[in-house]
Amino acid sequence: MICFTTTEQALHAPAHEFFRGQRVPCFENPARARFVEDALRVHGHALRPPTVDSAPLLGEVHAPRYLDFLRTAWDQWLALDAANADVQPFPSVWPVRTLRSDVEPANFVARLGLYSMDNGSPMAAGTWAAAKAGADAAASAAHALQAGERAAFCATRPPGHHAGPDFMGGYCFINNAAVCAQALRTGGAARVAVLDVDYHHGNGTQAIFYERADVLFCSIHGDPRTEYPFYLGHADETGAGAGQGFNLNLPLPARASVAAWFDALEQACARIGRHGADALVVSLGLDTFAGDPISTFALQAVDFRRLGERLEQLGLPTAFVLEGGYAAAELGQNAAAVLAGFES
């Protein structure tokens, strides 16, 4: 399978984040991609850099002023004080409910809060370069499918599915799965399906396509009443306007069984089949693994292979986009297991 990787991913390397009120080393770090790349090589997959510039697509997925902020955020941070080169910026105020979000504040931290859904997306000097390269890989995967490839995999980071039209969150800055889906649509696919199998609901992807009928979004995830991102991902969210009926959420309780997870997968696959999609984008979160430090599902390597086998049965050109998965040492083998199942 063609696998896209980027050297730029290593440039996004913030030192710490906040988890349950404590300052801890970042769960989402460059080692994740290295483990995946190593496993792909062992299993004989060809690794290559992106071949397509995603810039023309980004404005189809994200708001221009958000992209402008993201592109220049680190320079803005340094402009406040050169010593900020050694300090990670975090938002401390957000425009919730009755507060206004239409006027961009002059204060940098306030702007950071305007474009953040949480304080869980620590930035570094190379954040924009890494995120943009990941989007390039997603666009390249779409191009590969359009050129006749059966499947392609984006082994990139940071992940993307929590990034919405005009906000970052959950380690995500640019929504790679949405970029890939939009690239497929722009390239001629009449209908695209996005299947998100990350433990955490892909709230950003849902928000981007919620009022569209051309891109079906299906997600299997932890119940948002107890699991991040908490405020989206309920079963009654089925789309709006033209998109009514084109959003399927399948939330599962914490510590749900593997059997329950695969029952949900069958529901998602059935809905994808009815959609009549020309291509499939898989937000491949691997934090459903039993050993993941911030999740509670119990999938094992054999289950990831089974996932790949089931997705192959859909008979669609398929782009896999790496999302979460924070048991870094096992991440590569779990990713390789999905691809092996798909190619079996």
Residues labelled catalytic: 162
Q: CA–CA distance from 161 to each of 81, 206, 222 (Å)?
A: 32, 9, 15
For the four alpha carbons of 29, 56, 68 and 168, in that order, the dihedral sign comes to negative
Reply yes or no: is the peptide bond before residue 158 cis, omega within 30 of 0: yes
Q: Which of 194, 204, 250, 256 is nearest to 229 (CA)?
A: 204
The amino acid occupying position 155 is: A
Q: How far apart are the first and last CA of the chain?
A: 12
Q: How far apart are CA 59 and CA 62, in angstroms?
A: 5
Token pair in block for residue 137: 């890989």
Q: How far apart are CA 158 and CA 120, in angstroms?
A: 12
Q: Are 99 and 93 in contact (CB under 8 A)?
A: no
Reduced 3-state DSSP string for 59-92? HHHCCHHHHHHHHHHHHHHHHHCHHHHHCCCCCC
Q: How far apart are CA 222 and CA 238, in angstroms?
A: 17
Q: How far apart are CA 159 and CA 324, in angstroms?
A: 6
Chain-centre distance for alpha carbon 22: 25
Q: How far apart are CA 170 and CA 109, in angstroms?
A: 18
Q: Which of 221, 132, 220, 117 is nearest to 165 (CA)?
A: 117
